[in-house]
Amino acid sequence: MSVQGDRVHDECGVVGVYSKGEDVARIAFFGLFALQHRGQESAGIATGDGKIIRLRTAMGLVTQSFQEDNLERLTGHVAIGHTRYSTTGSSHAKNAQPIISNGPNVRLALGHNGNVVNAKELKEELLGWGCTFTSTNDSEIVAHLISNAPATTWEDRIAYAMRRLRGAYSLVVMTKDTLLGIRDPLGVRPLCIGKLNGGWVIASETCALDHIGATFVREVEPGEAVMVNEDGLKSIYQREPLQDRASCVFEHIYFARPDSVLDGRLVYSNRMAMGAELAREHPVEADMVIGVPDSALAAAVGYSQESGIPYGEGLVKNRYVGRTFISPDQRLRDLGVRTKLNPLPQLINGKRLVVVDDSIVRGTTTPHVVQLLHQGGAKEIHLRICAPPIKHPCHLGIDMATRKELLAANKSVEEIREMVQADSLGYLSHEGLVRAVGLKRNRICMACFTGDHPIPVQLEMDKLALEVSP
């Protein structure tokens, strides 16, 4: 049983910095450090000094990928950074970003958060144009499409790319002297703008701005491209707004850090509201409310405040458990989540617990959490889930399993309750989630719950589809 096995995974975190006289590589490093939760497979930074682009990428966490001497060699006044979790393309050094692309009139570096659903068709076309590929991810396709667009201005390149790309893409792009931020017309993944002294920062989440001392200015609008150069920041392209948007609701449930602001709302407050909605929809008599660390803690507080049941800590998370390439033997594997979570028997023994968690995906981790709490002496366990049942895979930048692996796509709520051995199980309703997030229904994507994808997808996509050349 993989400790990570029952969690959904976002693709990436991106950051861009433009600031003359500043150590932009170091600023980008700390911006990526704040976005480490969005991807732990690889990290990279590219910089430009007006003459050339320098690049370093490596496998592993941000702190494993960069040392002082690496940052010292990344000189310049413009930088972009990327931390990756793969949703298209394998976890391999060749797929680390930023990606360099050389077009007829421009050389650029690109970092991408999202997923392009027509990547395979676009790759076939780009191969026909004479483009060569060194990776197997959709991000290189996006980079080549922009750099080879039949256009001579950035406005026309971006307009061409947006007409061709289908899917989710929040991008940071740089040349040797210019920074751009680009967000797809549906606004699936977040992207924001901050001011840093005399320079500018573009990042996936506002928490990255906070960490480097930048002041949040605004979000990049869906379908917008902004450019930063020696003249400052300006919006250079805005596609005609779509009637509906598709901001990913899972950013609010799980992906984004609780101290980030998305769609004008503090994520922590939204998660508290989810817990309050759960308390109203699924009340129960209990002695204590606990959350599964870390993403469900705010929701547990909200459940406690709404229900009047005291909040407490029943599970402790080992926050230093990271990705490892050392496989446990069977005995250690059988310990399951004990490597990541440990119960507090002195606090939960004999108590009826409400246990709040963010989601159930494959159902591999939840039974172990319930078992741990029973072993700690819990008398009853009433499981409450901040997300509705996940019944459909995502095609827009989340790696959350195929439909046949999704527990709720194949079992009823009662069957899931029996499987995880909880005394009761309650999922947040679609309506309750929309109320908690505080956005209109046509502004958020809930396809993983409803199957109503904002972009038509005929077949279930394979994240390794680009591993073999067409």
Q: With beta carbons less than 8 A apart as the criterion, state whether 411 and 419 touch.
A: yes
Which residues, listed in sequence order, are joined to residue 262 by a DSSP beta bridge?
Answer: 265
Which residues, listed in sequence order, are joined to residue 218 by a DSSP beta bridge?
Answer: 193
Catalytic entry in 12, 207, 386, 394: 12
Provide the token pair at 5: 């096995």
Task: List C-alpha distances in Å: 130 to 144, 161, 164, 236.
Answer: 10, 18, 18, 29
pLDDT over 60 (residue 3): no
Report pLDDT for 98. 97
Q: pLDDT band for position 382 (50/70/90)?
A: very high
Apex 381 CA angle, 304 and 401, nearest 5:
95
**Mean pLDDT over residues 280-307, rounded?**
97
Apex 215 CA angle, 97 and 63, nearest 5:
35
pLDDT over 80 (residue 140): yes
* Residue 12 annotated in active site: yes
Chain position carrying tokens 């046509």: 442
Q: What is the pLDDT of residues 206-256, one digit of tens each?
A: 999 999 999 999 999 999 999 999 999 999 999 986 767 889 999 999 999
Q: pLDDT band for position 89 (50/70/90)?
A: very low
Helices 138-147 and 154-164: crossing angle, nearest 10°?
Answer: 140
Quote the CA–CA distance of 215 and 437 in Å, as a whole number. Answer: 24
Going along the chain from its start, the domains and CATH numbers come out as 9-246 (3.60.20.10), 261-318+329-444 (3.40.50.2020)
Look up residue 370 and give its amino acid: V
CA 463 to chain centre: 16
Quote the CA–CA distance of 44 and 111 in Å, as a whole number. Answer: 9
What are the backbone dihedrals phi and psi of residue 44, each rounded to the nearest 5 degrees, phi first? -160, 155
Q: pLDDT band for position 331 (50/70/90)?
A: low
What does the DSSP assignment read for 371-432? HHHHHTT-SEEEEEESS----S--SSSEE---GGG-HHHHS-HHHHHHHHT-SEEEEPPHHH
CA dihedral (454, 455, 461, 466) in degrees, to 10, reads -130
The reply to whether omega before 231 is within 30° of 0 (cis) is no
Quote the CA–CA distance of 424 and 154 in Å, as a whole number. Answer: 56
Average pLDDT score, the chain: 90
Q: With beta carbons less than 8 A apart as the criterion, state whether 288 and 348 touch.
A: yes
Per the document, the length of the chain is 470
**Mean pLDDT over residues 133-162, rounded?**
96
CA dihedral (70, 75, 79, 80) in degrees, to 10, reads -20
Quote the CA–CA distance of 365 and 372 in Å, as a whole number. Answer: 11
Nearest to 282 by CA among 302, 258, 296: 302
Report pLDDT for 185. 95
Quote the CA–CA distance of 356 and 384 in Å, as a whole number. Answer: 5
Report pLDDT for 470. 40
Report pLDDT for 326. 47
Q: pLDDT band for position 337 (50/70/90)?
A: low
Chain position carrying tokens 């990928």: 65
Q: What is the pLDDT of residues 32-69, one digit of tens each?
A: 999 999 988 899 999 999 999 999 999 999 999 999 99
Report pLDDT for 396. 84
Which residues, listed in sequence order, are joined to residue 12 by a DSSP beta bridge?
Answer: 84
Q: With beta carbons less than 8 A apart as the criterion, state whether 73 and 46 touch.
A: no
Report pLDDT for 93. 85
What are the backbone dihedrals phi and psi of residue 383, each rounded to the nearest 5 degrees, phi first? -85, 130
